[in-house]
Structure 1
Amino acid sequence: MIPHISRFTTKRSTLAIATAVAAGALIATGTTTGATAQPAADPTPSAAPTALTSSARAGLLHDADAKKAETAKELNLGSKEKLVVRDVVKDRDGTTHTRYERTYDGLPVLGGDLVVHESKSGKHEGVTRATSKSVAVSTAPATLTAAPTGARKVVWAASGTPRLAYEKVVTGTQKDGTPRKLHVVTDATTGKKIFQWDAIHTGAGESQYSGSVTVGSTKSGSSYALTDTARGGHSTYDLKHGSSGKGTLFTDADDKWGNGTTTDPATAGVDAAYGAQVTWDYYKDVQGRSGIKGDGKGAYSRVHYGNAYVNAFWDDSCFCMTYGDGEGDKKPLTSIDVAGHEMTHGVTAATAGLIYSGESGGLNEATSDIFGTAVEFHAGNPKDVGDYLIGEKIDINGNGTPLRYMDKPSKDGGSLDYWKTGAGNVDVHYSSGIANHFFYLLSEGSGAKVINGVSYNSPTSDGQPVTGIGRDKAEKIWFKSLTTYFTTTTNYAKARTATLSAASALYGASSTEYKAVDRAWAAVNVK
Structure 2
Amino acid sequence: MNLRLSIIAAAIAALPALHANAQTRGVLPESLMAAPVQPMNATAKANIENRLAARRAAAGLDDEHGYKITLQHPGEAGTRITRAQHTYRGLRVFGSESVVVSDDDGEVISESASDRRRGLDSSRAAVAGGQGLPDVTATVSADEAINSVVKRVAPVGVHRWKPEAELLIYPVMKTVRVAGAEKKAEAALNALDLEEVVDRYELAYLVKTRMATGKKLVYRDTIVSAKTGAVLQEWNALQTVVGQGKSQYNGTVPINTTLSGSTYQMLDATRGTGGKFGGAAITNANHSPESNPQPGSIYTNTTNVWGDGQQYINGGSTTNANGQTAAVNALWGLMNTYDTMKNVIGWRSLDGNNTATYIAVHVDNQYDNAFFDPNCKCMFIGDGNSFKNLGSIDVIGHEMGHGVTDATSNLVYAGESGGLNESNSDIQGEMTEAYARAGGTGTVIPASGNDWVMGAEISKTGTPLRYMYKPSKDGSSPNAWSSTIKNIDVHYSSGPNNRMFYFLANGSNATSTSDYYSQYLTQNPKNMTGIGSDKAFRIWFKANTTKFTSSTNYADARNKVLQAAEELYGVGSKEATAVKRAYAAINVGTDVPETAGGTGVSITTQPASLTVAPGGTARFTVAASGGTAPYSYRWYKNNALISGATAATYSFTAQSTDNGAVYKATVTDSSSTPVTVTSGNATLTVSSTGGGTTTERVTNGGFESSTTGWAGTTGAIGTFTGQTAYEGTRYAYLGGNGTTATETLTQAVTIPSTATAANLSFALHIDTAETGSTVYDRLVVTVKNSTGAVLGTLATYTNVNAAAGYQVRTFNLLPYKGQTVTLSFAMTEDSAAQTSFVVDKVSLLTQ
User: Smaller-chain TM-score range?
Assistant: 0.7 to 0.9
What amino acid maps onto 1:164 in structure 2?
A: L
Give the CA deviation at 1:67: 2.7
- Show CA shifts across 1:263-305 (max 9, x none): 5111100110111100000010111101101111210110000
- Partners of 1:360 and 1:406 lie apart in 2 by 18
In the alignment, is residue 224 of structure 1 matched against residue 264 of structure 2? Answer: yes
Q: Moved runs in structure 1, 4+ residues, more than 6 A?
A: 119-122
The 5 A counterparts of 1:226-375 are: 226-232=266-272, 233-243=279-289, 244-261=293-310, 262-263=312-313, 264-327=322-385, 331-375=388-432
What amino acid maps onto 1:65 in structure 2?
A: K
Match of 1:98 among 67, 82, 97: 82
| 2:436 corresponds to | 379
CA gap of 1:220–1:316, structure 2 versus 1, over 3 A, is same
- Conservation of the 8 A alpha-carbon contact between 1:309 and 1:324: yes
The 5 A counterparts of 1:33-112 are: 40-43=22-25, 45-46=27-28, 50-54=32-36, 57-60=37-40, 64-76=44-56, 78-80=62-64, 81-92=66-77, 94-112=78-96
**Equivalent position SS for 2:169:** strand
- Conservation of the 8 A alpha-carbon contact between 1:68 and 1:84: no
- Conservation of the 8 A alpha-carbon contact between 2:75 and 2:546: no
What amino acid maps onto 1:388 in structure 2?
A: W
What amino acid maps onto 1:318 in structure 2?
A: C
| 1:34 corresponds to | none
- Conservation of the 8 A alpha-carbon contact between 1:48 and 1:91: no
Match of 2:225 among 178, 184, 187: 187
**Equivalent position SS for 1:116:** strand
- Partners of 1:381 and 1:43 lie apart in 2 by 20
| 1:17 corresponds to | none
Structure 2: gaps of 5 or more residues: 1-20, 122-132, 147-164, 174-197, 273-278, 314-321, 441-447, 590-847
Give the CA deviation at 1:431: 1.2
In the alignment, is residue 393 of structure 1 matched against residue 457 of structure 2? Answer: yes
- Partners of 1:359 and 1:246 lie apart in 2 by 32
- Partners of 1:63 and 1:179 lie apart in 2 by 43
Give the CA deviation at 1:74: 2.0
Match of 2:168 among 144, 154, 158: 154
Give the CA deviation at 1:199: 2.2
- Show CA shifts across 1:205-253 (max 9, x none): 1111111111121122321111000101011111111123221221001
- Conservation of the 8 A alpha-carbon contact between 1:64 and 1:85: no
| 1:489 corresponds to | 551
TM-score normalized by the length of structure 2: 0.53
Give the CA deviation at 1:326: 0.6
CA gap of 1:206–1:48, structure 2 versus 1, over 3 A, is closer
Relative to structure 2, which stretch is displaced further, 404-413 or 254-263?
254-263
- Conservation of the 8 A alpha-carbon contact between 1:72 and 1:83: no
- Partners of 2:302 and 2:536 lie apart in 1 by 44
What amino acid maps onto 2:508 in structure 1?
A: S
In the alignment, is residue 441 of structure 1 matched against residue 480 of structure 2? Answer: no
Give the CA deviation at 1:105: 4.0
CA gap of 1:429–1:460, structure 2 versus 1, over 3 A, is same
Give the CA deviation at 1:132: 3.9
CA gap of 1:162–1:118, structure 2 versus 1, over 3 A, is farther
- Partners of 1:245 and 1:121 lie apart in 2 by 43
| 2:518 corresponds to | 460
**Equivalent position SS for 1:292:** coil
What amino acid maps onto 2:72 in structure 1?
A: D
- Partners of 1:227 and 1:422 lie apart in 2 by 45
What amino acid maps onto 2:416 in structure 1?
A: E
- Partners of 1:44 and 1:344 lie apart in 2 by 28
- Partners of 1:352 and 1:158 lie apart in 2 by 21
- Show CA shifts across 1:415-438 (max 9, x none): 111111211112111111110000
CA gap of 1:286–1:421, structure 2 versus 1, over 3 A, is same
CA gap of 1:523–1:422, structure 2 versus 1, over 3 A, is same
What amino acid maps onto 1:152 in structure 2?
A: E
| 1:33 corresponds to | none
CA gap of 1:302–1:95, structure 2 versus 1, over 3 A, is closer
Higher strand share: 2
**Equivalent position SS for 1:447:** coil
CA gap of 1:53–1:478, structure 2 versus 1, over 3 A, is closer
- Show CA shifts across 1:374-419 (max 9, x none): 0100112589941211101000xx4211111111111111111111
What amino acid maps onto 1:376 in structure 2?
A: E
TM-score normalized by the length of structure 1: 0.84
What amino acid maps onto 2:38 in structure 1?
A: A
Structure 1: gaps of 5 or more residues: 1-38, 450-455
What amino acid maps onto 2:204 in structure 1?
A: A
In the alignment, is residue 413 of structure 1 matched against residue 393 of structure 2? Answer: no
What amino acid maps onto 2:285 in structure 1?
A: L
Give the CA deviation at 1:100: 2.0
**Equivalent position SS for 2:270:** helix
- Conservation of the 8 A alpha-carbon contact between 2:172 and 2:202: no
- Partners of 2:535 and 2:71 lie apart in 1 by 27
Match of 1:172 among 208, 211, 226: 211
CA gap of 1:235–1:267, structure 2 versus 1, over 3 A, is same
- Show CA shifts across 1:459-487 (max 9, x none): 11325321111111111110111011111
Higher helix share: 1
**Equivalent position SS for 1:230:** coil
Relative to structure 2, which stretch is displaced further, 119-128 or 411-420?
119-128
- Partners of 2:573 and 2:436 lie apart in 1 by 30
Match of 2:139 among 122, 139, 144: 144
Number of equivalences: 476
In the alignment, is residue 129 of structure 1 matched against residue 113 of structure 2? Answer: yes
**Equivalent position SS for 2:411:** coil
In the alignment, is residue 517 of structure 1 matched against residue 579 of structure 2? Answer: yes
- Partners of 1:312 and 1:422 lie apart in 2 by 28
- Partners of 2:582 and 2:167 lie apart in 1 by 42
CA gap of 1:385–1:173, structure 2 versus 1, over 3 A, is farther
- Partners of 1:426 and 1:338 lie apart in 2 by 22
Give the CA deviation at 1:51: 4.3
- Partners of 1:523 and 1:126 lie apart in 2 by 29
- Conservation of the 8 A alpha-carbon contact between 1:64 and 1:98: no
| 2:238 corresponds to | 200
- Partners of 1:311 and 1:447 lie apart in 2 by 34
- Partners of 2:490 and 2:33 lie apart in 1 by 32
What amino acid maps onto 1:288 in structure 2?
A: G
| 2:151 corresponds to | none
| RMSD (Å) for aligned C-alpha atoms | 2.7
What amino acid maps onto 2:505 in structure 1?
A: S
What amino acid maps onto 1:172 in structure 2?
A: M
Work out the percentage of aligned pairs sharing the same amino acid: 37
- Conservation of the 8 A alpha-carbon contact between 1:227 and 1:235: yes
Give the CA deviation at 1:118: 4.2
Give the CA deviation at 1:97: 3.7
Relative to structure 2, which stretch is displaced further, 190-199 or 367-376?
190-199
CA gap of 1:511–1:149, structure 2 versus 1, over 3 A, is closer
Between structure 1 and structure 2, the one with the greater Rg is 2
- Partners of 1:121 and 1:241 lie apart in 2 by 50
**Equivalent position SS for 1:355:** coil
Give the CA deviation at 1:513: 0.7
| 1:29 corresponds to | none
- Partners of 1:304 and 1:322 lie apart in 2 by 8
| 1:6 corresponds to | none
**Equivalent position SS for 1:152:** strand
